[in-house]
Amino acid sequence: MTGGPEPISAEGLRAVQEELAQLRAERGDVAATLRGVEPVGDRADAADELQRASEVTRLDRRIAELEERLREASVAGPPSTEAVGVGSTVTVRFADGAEETVEIAELAEERELTLVTADSPLGKALLGRHAGETVSYETPGGAASAVVLAVGDRG
């Protein structure tokens, strides 16, 4: 990773936008249940109010993270189709012959596309590589290798 704004793939962009929309809706639902005044009621009511306020704070933090990621991605531009970097979609063939398309991401998230974080052993091995190159990396089961078949965004 460069330490600067990192690109995001088209699929990654869609996933961030979808998560952002879901979080905003969830935040609206939770915030609507807050009274915004001193709780009147028993301790359980007060505890419930505090828990909902804490949830709003958590949602606000995640929303801010995703909004910042979108701003960074707009500054960084599209992922490279030449050399593997954060945001790249990479098709690799592993030593056992299995082929897989993965996305190099800053953080692991749930998506259809298999994500490989840039700081994982495979991610580190792939960064900066080009189609046709073979990478070696360590796994919990020992040394492994893969051939980069293609670099490019599926979106």
pLDDT digits (tens, 9 = 90+) for 117-134: 888 999 999 999 999 999
Count of C-beta atoms within a 10 Å radius of residue 127: 18
Q: Chain-wide mean pLDDT for the chain?
A: 84
| Beta-ladder partners of 146 | 94, 135
Chain segment 32-54, per-residue pLDDT in tens = 888 655 555 667 777 888 888 89
What tokens were used for 47?
A: 């505890």
What is the per-residue DSSP string for the chain?
Answer: --SS-----HHHHHHHHHHHHHHHHHHHHHHHT---S---S-HHHHHHHHHHHHHHHHHHHHHHHHHHHHHHHHHH-SPPSSS--TT-EEEEEETTS-EEEEEEESS----SSEEEETTSHHHHHHTT--TT-EEEEEETTEEEEEEEEEE----
d(CA 134, CA 67): 36
Look at residues 147, 153, 154, 106 and name the one whose alpha carbon lies nearest to residue 130.
147
What is the identity of the amino acid at 136? Answer: S
d(CA 65, CA 75): 16
Which pLDDT score, from 0 to 100, does residue 10 have?
A: 78
Higher per-residue confidence, 60 vs 4: 60
Mean pLDDT of the 128-154 span: 91
d(CA 51, CA 36): 13
Highest mean pLDDT out of 60-64, 104-108, 117-121: 60-64
Banded pLDDT at 115 (limits 50, 70, 90): confident
Chain segment 72-93, per-residue pLDDT in tens = 888 888 887 888 988 888 999 9
- Specify the range with the lowest mean pLDDT, choosing from 19-28, 61-70, 108-117: 108-117
Which pLDDT score, from 0 to 100, does residue 40 have?
A: 56
Which pLDDT score, from 0 to 100, does residue 75 have?
A: 87
